[in-house]
């Protein structure tokens, strides 16, 4: 028998029962909830049930909370205010740990999980949010689930899932100057396509991946879903263990030593087989941004808008033309010549302290020419940034410094991009209407977004880095 992949080891460890038609009942190690979880709790109450393992569920409001204030009374949308109030009530009724508004531990659920040590290697983790894949950065099998599945997890601490295949993306080589984790994952998605990892759990491997910090790994795994993957995962190593140790909900004492022994056995065996293998060289990567309405529509900043007439596939040609019509770009235009109307820095992809430090390194070199908003990923990130004086750099450069939340990434909390406006964004999706009806979204790294703010157009951040 061949060896096991990291994914298979975790799956097998959590498999309770497998049916003849291929579904497996998985035990859930951690469940994350947010202000969109109200329906699932409602299903639970209609059945007269309680949360099966409340100590394994952790909640925080993030999607609908405003970033101008964290006061409940300042949530002007009645539906969003009700969602936050409902989460608070449900957490209290079911004895679930809640990081509520006003709590320094509040934030985007995918930032809070790793930050608090809730996310641990070897766990199966779920949340009613597609970007749950983020937590795979610490060696957890993490994926999003729907409302009915959230109910099932609340009631039973299990979920029924069909086992995906295992895929490995190996990125070797040394990344060039100016290339970030966001550039790595955009390069991968551009290479394999928005459906290139469909029905797979992607394990990221190789020297370039191992060289990443945990916060950088979180960015890579976060956008796995944008390649169609069920989840993204990176084998835990000493970098992982150093990050986790001492965090509030991480194991302590003898439990820590036992956990380390288990975690060190998790990486894929040398003779493990994958259904698909992709290899890339980080040395060929460059600072990236998207030109279209899918994360796969990504090019180096030095590139130009592609020409649909040069596409031989008629369906693809038609789709490209429709994309350019929506995004308002002409074929052949140099990306560095495209002006932007505003900048958003935040989201569960790029709102951690390392991201903000990178923004500050650019922001200190000028003044924003267009409106630029920064929303940290959690209140603790916000406090750390302020302790380091980053907020002063942002304000001096004309950037707006906000509270934590999903903010403009989802556009359901008052933070919107106006129709027709072009936004340089550090978020994870550039679909039509994602940041507001008619909004034109371009994905890029925090440093690239900061450079766009200072110049009012897409800009190669390497020119700013060289100045510094």
Kindly state whether residues 300 and 260 are assigned to the same domain: no
Kindly state whether residues 318 and 428 are assigned to the same domain: yes
414: left (phi over 0), alpha (psi -120 to 50) or beta: left
Residue 291 lies in a domain: no
Residue 219 lies in a domain: yes
Kindly state whether residues 113 and 155 are assigned to the same domain: yes
Residue 358 lies in a domain: yes
Residue 282 lies in a domain: no
Q: Is the pLDDT of residue 142 over 60?
A: yes
* 424-451 per-position pLDDT tens digit: 999 999 999 999 999 999 999 999 999 9
Band of the pLDDT at 278, cuts 50, 70, 90?
very high
Neighbours of 420 (CB within 10 A): 12
Structural domain boundaries enclosing 419: 296-467
Give percent of the chain above pLDDT 90: 98
Band of the pLDDT at 468, cuts 50, 70, 90?
very low
Kindly state whether residues 378 and 254 are assigned to the same domain: no
- Distance in angstroms (rounded) separating the CA atoms of residues 410 and 415: 8
Report yes or no: 114 and 137 within 8 Å, Cβ to Cβ.
yes
- Distance in angstroms (rounded) separating the CA atoms of residues 170 and 268: 13
Helix (H) or strand (E) holding 205: strand 200-205
Kindly state whether residues 156 and 54 are assigned to the same domain: yes
Q: Which of 32, 62, 36 is nearest to 375 (CA)?
A: 62
| Dihedral angle computed from the Cα positions of residues 18, 259, 91 and 137, in that order, rounded to the nearest 10 degrees | -80
Kindly state whether residues 141 and 11 are assigned to the same domain: yes
Sheet with 124-127: list strands edge to edge: 97-98, 57-59, 30-33, 124-127, 141-144
Mean pLDDT for the stretch of residues 215-232: 98
Kindly state whether residues 32 and 106 are assigned to the same domain: yes
Helix (H) or strand (E) holding 358: helix 353-363
In this structure, of 5-9, 99-103, 411-415, the range with the lowest mean pLDDT score is 411-415
Question: Which alpha helices (DSSP H) does 118-267 contain, by range?
Answer: 147-156, 181-192, 207-210, 214-222, 238-244, 253-263
Q: What is the mean pLDDT of the chain?
A: 97
**Three-state secondary structure call for residue 112:** helix
Give how many domains the chain has, as a whole number: 2
* 327-347 per-position pLDDT tens digit: 999 999 999 999 999 999 999
Q: Nearest 5°: phi and psi at 345?
A: -120, 115
Burial class (CB in 10 A: 0-12, 13-18, 19+), 173: middle
Q: Is the pLDDT of residue 252 over 70?
A: yes
* 10-45 per-position pLDDT tens digit: 999 999 999 999 999 999 999 999 999 999 999 999
What is the predicted pLDDT for the residue at 467? 52
Kindly state whether residues 301 and 272 are assigned to the same domain: no
Residue 284 lies in a domain: no
Written as six digits, the tokens of 439 are: 């909004």
Q: Nearest 5°: phi and psi at 60?
A: -160, 140
Supply the CATH number for residue 171's domain.
Answer: 3.30.499.10
Band of the pLDDT at 2, cuts 50, 70, 90?
confident
Kindly state whether residues 241 and 346 are assigned to the same domain: no
Written as six digits, the tokens of 142 are: 């993490």
Residue 283 lies in a domain: no
The domain boundary, picked from 276, 307, 337, lies at: 276
Q: Which of 307, 279, 317 is nearest to 191 (CA)?
A: 279
The domain boundary, picked from 216, 246, 276, lies at: 276
Residue 286 lies in a domain: no
Report yes or no: 127 and 348 within 8 Å, Cβ to Cβ.
no
Burial class (CB in 10 A: 0-12, 13-18, 19+), 100: middle
- Distance in angstroms (rounded) separating the CA atoms of residues 74 and 65: 9
Residue 393 lies in a domain: yes
Burial 422-433 (b: 16+ CB within 10 A, else e): bbbbbbbbbebe
CA torsion through residues 186, 192, 195, 200, sign: negative
Burial class (CB in 10 A: 0-12, 13-18, 19+), 97: middle
- Distance in angstroms (rounded) separating the CA atoms of residues 126 and 156: 13
Kindly state whether residues 36 and 175 are assigned to the same domain: yes
Counted residue by residue, the chain has a size of 468
Kindly state whether residues 71 and 219 are assigned to the same domain: yes
Mean pLDDT for the stretch of residues 450-464: 97
Beta strand 23-27 with 158-162 is: antiparallel
Tell me 349's DSSP state.
T
Mean pLDDT for the stretch of residues 39-61: 97
Tell me 334's DSSP state.
B
- Distance in angstroms (rounded) separating the CA atoms of residues 264 and 238: 9
- Distance in angstroms (rounded) separating the CA atoms of residues 97 and 54: 8
What is the predicted pLDDT for the residue at 1? 65
Kindly state whether residues 270 and 316 are assigned to the same domain: no
Written as six digits, the tokens of 341 are: 């109307």
Burial class (CB in 10 A: 0-12, 13-18, 19+), 402: buried
The domain boundary, picked from 244, 276, 308, lies at: 276
- Distance in angstroms (rounded) separating the CA atoms of residues 77 and 82: 9
Written as six digits, the tokens of 41 are: 């709790």
* 383-439 per-position pLDDT tens digit: 999 999 999 999 999 999 999 999 999 988 899 999 999 999 999 999 999 999 999
């Amino acid at each position: 028998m061949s060896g096991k992949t990291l994914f298979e080891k975790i799956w097998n460890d959590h498999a309770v029962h497998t049916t003849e038609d291929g579904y497996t009942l998985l035990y859930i190690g951690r469940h994350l909830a947010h202000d969109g979880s109200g329906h699932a709790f409602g299903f639970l109450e209609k059945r007269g049930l309680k949360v099966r393992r409340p100590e394994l569920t952790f909640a925080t409001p993030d999607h609908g909370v405003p970033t101008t204030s964290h006061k409940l009374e300042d949530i002007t949308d009645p539906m969003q205010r009700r969602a936050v109030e409902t989460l608070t009530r449900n957490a209290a009724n079911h004895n679930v740990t809640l990081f509520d508004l006003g709590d320094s531990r509040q934030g985007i659920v995918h930032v809070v999980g790793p930050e608090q040590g809730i996310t641990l290697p070897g766990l199966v983790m779920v949340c009613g949010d597609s970007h749950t894949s983020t937590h795979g950065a610490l060696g957890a099998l993490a994926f999003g689930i729907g409302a009915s599945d959230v109910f099932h997890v609340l009631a039973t601490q299990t979920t029924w899932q069909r086992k995906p295949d295992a895929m490995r993306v190996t990125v070797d080589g040394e990344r060039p100057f100016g290339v970030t984790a966001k550039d790595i994952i955009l390069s991968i998605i551009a290479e394999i396509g928005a459906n290139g990892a469909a029905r797979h759990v992607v394990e990221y491997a190789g020297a370039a991946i191992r060289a990443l910090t945990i916060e950088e790994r979180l960015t890579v795994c976060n956008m796995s879903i944008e390649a169609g993957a069920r989840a993204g995962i990176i084998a835990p190593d000493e970098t992982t263990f150093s990050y986790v140790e001492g965090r509030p909900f991480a194991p302590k004492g003898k439990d820590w030593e036992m956990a380390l022994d288990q975690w060190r056995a998790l990486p894929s065996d040398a003779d493990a087989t994958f259904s698909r293998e992709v290899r890339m060289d980080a040395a060929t990567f460059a600072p990236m941004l998207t030109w279209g309405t899918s994360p796969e529509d990504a090019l180096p900043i030095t590139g130009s808008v592609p020409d649909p007439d040069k596409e031989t596939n008629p369906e693809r040609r038609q789709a490209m033309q429709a994309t350019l019509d929506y995004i308002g770009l002409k074929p052949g235009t140099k990306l560095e010549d495209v002006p932007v109307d505003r900048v958003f820095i935040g989201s569960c992809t790029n709102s951690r302290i390392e991201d903000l430090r990178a923004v500050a390194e650019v922001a200190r070199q000028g003044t924003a020419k267009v409106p630029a908003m920064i929303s940290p990923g959690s209140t603790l990130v916000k406090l750390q940034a302020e302790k380091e004086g980053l907020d002063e750099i942002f304000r001096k450069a004309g950037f707006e410094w906000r509270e934590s939340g999903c903010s403009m990434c989802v556009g359901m909390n008052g933070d919107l991009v106006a129709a027709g406006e072009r936004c340089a964004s550090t978020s994870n999706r550039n679909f039509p209407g994602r940041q507001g009806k008619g909004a034109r979204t371009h994905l890029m790294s925090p440093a690239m977004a900061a450079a766009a703010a200072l110049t009012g157009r897409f800009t190669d951040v390497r020119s700013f880095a060289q100045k510094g």
